[in-house]
């Protein structure tokens, strides 16, 4: 009989912990709707990795650039290359998920189907990897972000924390490192080149583009022209 009160207390503590987790994570997401993040979980992970592996010359470069000081070509290129349904979905592209699963069933390598919202959630709060725990947390934070931030804020944060080279995070640091220009001056071809390395920014290089990067850059530019310069006018502020 003594077990029942103990079990009830355990359930009560678990419920309180769950509520505290919900409150703290939602509060963090709410604050970041208005305050630029000074770092991200992925940046911290990379910095710790460099320290562990003795990379003495490693330097992490990132600084925040607001939406109004970024060329319109940059968000358009990232949407064109990564997530063309971004203005319309609620965090998850179920059609792409089904296509990836069907391709895997046919013997192809399982490919990612993450939206920009999911990538923002992962980069900001989580770590690299493919575990079910991480994917579950990614889905949780994606729902929080989509429910709390307007679409433009999601894309603004993504552009500022996405890895665009080893130790180079965000369009501000990338445009200065590769083009020696502020992000406001980037043209469509430069923006498309940045977006082209996003699948693997440590293996692919903006400043030393492989044949694959050149083909992908050309494809993204074509997609940008088809979407049109006003495509992201549909993105809520």
DSSP state of 108: P
The β-bridge relationship of strands 168-169 and 163-165 is antiparallel
Kindly report the CATH number that applies to the domain delimited by 61-234. 1.10.3810.10
pLDDT for 77: 97
pTM of the model: 0.88
Mean pLDDT in order along the chain per 10 residues (237 residues): 70 86 93 95 92 88 96 96 92 70 47 83 88 90 96 97 95 96 96 94 92 96 93 79
Position 4 scores a pLDDT of 73
pLDDT on residue 96: 67
Among 140, 127, 156, 133, residue whose Cα is nearest residue 49: 127
Quote the pLDDT of residue 100. 52
Measure the CA–CA gap between 157 and 163, rounded to whole angstroms.
12
> Do you know the residue count of the chain?
237
Provide the residue ranges of all domains of the chain, joining segments of one domain with +: 61-234
pLDDT of residue 8: 79
Identify which of 165, 227, 217, 169 has the alpha carbon closest to the alpha carbon of residue 193: 217
Single out the residue of 156, 180, 153 nearest to residue 237, CA to CA. Answer: 153
């Amino acid at each position: 009989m003594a077990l029942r009160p103990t079990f009830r207390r355990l359930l009560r503590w678990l419920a309180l912990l769950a509520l505290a987790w919900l409150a703290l994570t939602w509060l963090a997401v709410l604050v970041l709707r208005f305050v630029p993040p000074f770092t991200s979980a992925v940046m911290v992970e990379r910095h710790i990795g460099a320290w562990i592996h003795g990379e003495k010359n490693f330097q992490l470069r990132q600084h925040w650039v607001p939406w109004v000081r970024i060329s319109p070509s940059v968000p358009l290129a990232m949407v064109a290359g990564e997530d063309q349904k971004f203005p319309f979905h609620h965090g998850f592209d179920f059609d792409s998920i089904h296509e990836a699963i069907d391709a895997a069933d046919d013997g192809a390598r399982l490919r990612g189907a993450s939206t920009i919202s999911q990538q923002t959630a992962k980069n900001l709060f989580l770590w690299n990897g493919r575990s079910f725990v991480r994917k579950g947390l990614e889905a949780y934070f994606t729902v929080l972000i989509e429910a709390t931030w307007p679409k433009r804020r999601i894309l603004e944060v993504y552009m500022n924390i996405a890895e665009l080279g080893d130790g180079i995070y965000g369009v501000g640091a990338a445009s200065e490192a590769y083009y020696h220009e502020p992000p406001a001056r980037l043209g469509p071809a430069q923006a498309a080149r940045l977006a082209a390395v996003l699948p693997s920014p440590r293996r692919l290089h903006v400043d030393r583009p492989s044949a694959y990067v050149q083909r992908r850059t050309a494809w993204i530019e074509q997609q940008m022209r088809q979407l049109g310069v006003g495509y992201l006018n549909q993105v809520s502020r």
